[in-house]
Amino acid sequence: MIRVDVKNGDVNGALRRIKVKLAKSGVPSELKKHKHYSKPGVRKREEQKEMIKNSRKKNRRRNG
């Protein structure tokens, strides 16, 4: 359970903080994944694409 305290009546700041906390916890991406059913083969291909993308990103950071 994510909890954010509102300080000095600053609701906009609290909303900003809760959005950041939610994004870091991965809730939006999980909701996106579960919106529709994807077949196991499609899911596996997407995971492989993601792994390739992440490894290229890491290599750019190391060499860049």
Number of domains observed in the structure of the chain: 2
Q: Count of CB atoms within 10 A of residue 56's CB?
A: 10
Q: Are residues 42 and 28 in the same domain?
A: no
Q: How confident is the model at residue 47 (pLDDT cuts 50, 70, 90)?
A: very high
Q: Are residues 1 and 21 in the same domain?
A: yes
Q: Does the structure show a pLDDT above 90 at 34?
A: no
Q: Are residues 26 and 1 in the same domain?
A: yes
CA distance 6 to 18: 10
Q: Does the structure show a pLDDT above 90 at 61?
A: no
Instruction: Quote the tokens at residue 16.
Output: 């900003």
The rounded Cα 9 to chain-centroid distance in angstroms is: 29
Question: 28 is in which domain, residue-wise?
Answer: 1-33
Q: Are residues 43 and 27 in the same domain?
A: no
Q: Does the structure show a pLDDT above 90 at 63?
A: no
- Give the global pTM: 0.53
Q: How confident is the model at residue 2 (pLDDT cuts 50, 70, 90)?
A: confident
Q: Does the structure show a pLDDT above 80 at 64?
A: no
Q: Are residues 23 and 43 in the same domain?
A: no
